[in-house]
Amino acid sequence: MLKQESAQAVNRFVASAQKEFAAFASTLSGETYEKAAQIILAAQKNGGRLHITGIGKPGHVSAYMASLFSSTGNPCYFLHGTEAVHGSCGQLAAGDVVIAISNSGETGELKATVLAVKNNGCKVIGVTGHMDSWLARESDACLFAGVSEEGGPLNRAPRNSILAETLTLQALSVALQVEQDWDPVKYVRCHPGGKLGQLRENEK
């Protein structure tokens, strides 16, 4: 059985997550994603590709989002946040777009990666909780994903900020999916496994 203090900490975190998620979600609208989506669509029109990167916990968000973008009509490649400056920038070509995630926007390793990305002729879309940060300034477009507290013991480990980063990129994926006219037939063709790989009765 959990200690009483543990159960209380869980309750406090859930309350914090509810508050932060609702507050952040209320700031979003379709217009939020106009500039970022246009950069990606323009690059795709010219044969450019989409990549996504982050350091630490946001790196795991990047891997998930690369999968989500790819499965909904917008091929996307995970760019390792630190390996990028040790050769992985070789997956980039001039004209590509790289989404870079950092809550602080000041992470040293990500700075090096963003500079390398730009030096390879790519555009950068930043995702950060601080619109006055280095990442925001260096980005061609920037999406805000900020919270006032992380929740949980010590209020340090990324929790609520990860929710915000995930939500804002999921919303961008929705806009891009519609722009690509991604219908159930196309989705199933690229996702033939599992229950999701079957057309529903109202889609046949």
Domain regions of the chain by residue span:
4-191
- Integer Cα distance of 30 and 144 in angstroms: 14
CB 151 within 8 Å of CB 12: yes
Which residues, in sequence order, are bridge partners of residue 98? Answer: 51, 124
- Residue 87, pLDDT score: 98
> For 7-65, how does the pLDDT look when each residue is reduced to its tens digit (9 = 90+)?
999 999 999 999 999 999 999 999 999 999 999 999 999 999 999 999 999 999 999 99
> For 122-152, how does the pLDDT look when each residue is reduced to its tens digit (9 = 90+)?
999 999 999 999 999 999 999 999 999 999 9
Cα dihedral sign, 150-85-135-165: negative
- Integer Cα distance of 133 and 127 in angstroms: 11
Q: CATH 3.40.50.10490: does it fit domain 4-191?
A: yes
Grade residue 109 by pLDDT with cuts at 50, 70 and 90.
Answer: very high
